[in-house]
Amino acid sequence: MATCKKGLYICNIFEKAIMENKPKLVYITRKEHFNAAHRLFNPNWTIEQNELFFGKCANKNYHGHNFDLFVTIKGRANPETGMVMDLKKLKLVIKEQVVDELDHKNINVDVDFMKGQLASIENIVVAIWGRLEPFIENGKLHCIKLIETERNYVEYYGED
């Protein structure tokens, strides 16, 4: 720094001090679990078209999954609490808005927020985002990850 002007050097030290005291951006994640049944079936297609495209997932008697749901919020910790969001509150919001609505239900028949939509994991995860986003405090919903099987999952990051 010897070649810098004294004023510039002091300015850089001041900016660095401000940045070091600024709360850092962190990501918090809550994992939940629910069981639900669904059927992949497009009512505008014939039964044969549905069976050809969706295979066993078009079974007229539905099929079930043990879903794992990960909800990630990003934000800066509140200096008074040290938290981005109280995880107890996040747990309650996820329970009320998602788990209670989906657990041990037939997504195609019993879940109001999925009415009129094909019950694909992609559509489910987007609908979950819409249910949770209004309740996120002091941060921003970053990602919803929904695991359908050990080999299949979807991540949704919103429309930013």
Contacts of 158 (CB under 8 A, 6+ apart): 129, 133, 141
Q: How far apart are CA 157 and CA 7, in angstroms?
A: 43
Residues in the chain, total: 160
Q: How far apart are CA 49 and CA 36, in angstroms?
A: 25
Catalytic residues: 57, 104, 148
Asked if residues 33 and 67 have their Cβ atoms less than 8 Å apart, the reply is: yes
